[in-house]
Every structure is written in structure tokens, then in C-alpha cells.
């Protein structure tokens, strides 16, 4: 159940990217890059939080963000209008 819920949240996030970024004025050809940079920033914050001894729940979140970022970097664009 935990992995299934994480996968559903991931799919929701990826489906929402074009709409959210378009609403912020980000051109479609920059969606993939913007998503990757966002995930990288979040991962850096989570790692910093782990190093500071914050909530153990952060370890799971950090793993999820880094895994998603790694997959995105290894794939062709998965967000409509994005570039590699």
C-alpha cells in the first residue's frame, strides 16, 4: 500500500506540472527543466534537514524525491512540452 500511494502521488504531481507551471507563466518548453530544478532544490532542503537531525519522516521523503529526480534525468521528457 505505501508504494502504491507514493506512485499515485508521483503520477498526480507529474500530471499537474503543465497546468501549474503554465499558470505561473513558465513556457511549455521549460516545464521539464523547471520540474527537475524544483526537485533538486527540494532534495537539497531535505538532505540539509536530515543532516540537522530533523524528523525521521524526512528520510522517506528524501528518498522519494531523489528517486524521482534520478528517473527524470534518465528519461526522455515526460512532461508535455518539455525538453531534455
Tell me the C-alpha distance between 84 and 72, whole Å: 9
Contact partners, residue 52, CB within 8 Å, separation at least 6:
none
pTM of model > 0.75: no
Report pLDDT digits (tens) over 25-58.
999 999 999 999 999 998 888 888 877 776 767 7
pLDDT at residue 77 tops 80: no
pLDDT at residue 80 tops 90: no
Tell me the C-alpha distance between 35 and 68, whole Å: 11
> Could you tell me which of 21, 2, 5, 6 has the C-alpha nearest to residue 68?
6
Contact partners, residue 44, CB within 8 Å, separation at least 6:
none
Report pLDDT digits (tens) over 14-27.
999 999 999 999 99
Amino acid at each position: 500500500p505505501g508504494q502504491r500511494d507514493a506512485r499515485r502521488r508521483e503520477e498526480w504531481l507529474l500530471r499537474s506540472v503543465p497546468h501549474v507551471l503554465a499558470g505561473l507563466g513558465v513556457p511549455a518548453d521549460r516545464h521539464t527543466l523547471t520540474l527537475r530544478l524544483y526537485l533538486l532544490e527540494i532534495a537539497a532542503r531535505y538532505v540539509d534537514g536530515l543532516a540537522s537531525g530533523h524528523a525521521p519522516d524526512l528520510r522517506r521523503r528524501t528518498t522519494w524525491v531523489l528517486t524521482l529526480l534520478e528517473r527524470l534525468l534518465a528519461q526522455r521528457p515526460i512532461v508535455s512540452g518539455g525538453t531534455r
